[in-house]
Amino acid sequence: MTIVKLSQGGLLAFSPINPTAECLALVREVEKDHGPLKYIVLGSTAIEHKVAAGPFAREFANAQLWVAPDQYSFPFDFENLGRGPSGLGRLDRNQLFFGLHVNALPRSSEEGKVPWSEDIAHLVLGPLKSRGGLVIVCACSIRVTDMQICVHTHAVVCVLYVCVCALCVCVWIRM
C-alpha cells in the first residue's frame, strides 16, 4: 500500500492492504499530521488486493472507494451484472464490497475526472484475459507528479504482460 499526501489536504491510499491493528495505527498516525484519508484506490483485479479493499474502506467510512475496471469474482461473476462502459457492474452486490459505495476508476486520468487529478495521474493497463477468458488481469499505475515517482500494482504477472506494462509505463512516464 502506498499513501500519498494531496495538495488540497488529506490522503490517498493506493492498493490497500488488510486493515490490521498495526496498519490502522500507522495510518491514523499519518492522518494526525497530514489530514484524513479521503480516497482509497483499488488499482488491480488481483484477489490479494481486492480482498483487502472492502474491509479497509469500512475502517475509513468517510473515504471514497475507487476500483479498477473489469473486476470479477469466483465462482460466480455477480458483480459484473449490468456491466457498462466503465467496466463495472453492480459491485455493491459483491461480497467484497457489499454495502459500500464504489466509484469506477476511469481507464486513465485523461479519460475521466478523478478528485486527485492535480497530484496524481493514473493509467489502467489491461484487461488481459486468460486463454479461456475466465480470469481478467488488470493493473493500474499511478504517477505522483510533484515527486516524479511511478507506482505499479503488479510488476510480474507473466513475461508478455510485464513487457507490455514496462513499455506502456515507460512511454507514459516520459509524457
**How would DSSP label each residue in 116-145?**
TTTTEEEEEEEEEE-TTS--EEEEEEEEET
* Phi and psi angles of residue 55, each rounded to the nearest 5 degrees, phi first: -60, -40
Instruction: Report the pLDDT value the prediction gives residue 29, as an integer from 0 to 100.
Output: 96
CATH of the domain at 162: 3.60.15
pLDDT in tens, 79-116: 444 455 555 554 544 556 767 788 888 888 887 789 99
Q: Total structural domains in the chain? A: 1
- How high is the mean pLDDT of the chain? 75
**Which residue bears the cell 513487457?**
163
For residues 48 and 52, give the distance between their C-alpha atoms in angstroms, rounded to a whole number: 7
Residue 66 has pLDDT above 60, yes or no: yes
CA distance 13 to 39: 6
Output the pLDDT for position 175.
45
Residue 64: give the domain boundaries: 2-174
Residue 31: band (very low, low, confident or very high) from pLDDT cuts 50, 70, 90: very high
Report pLDDT digits (tens) over 148-167: 667 766 654 444 444 444 44
Residue 175 to residue 173: CA distance in whole angstroms: 5
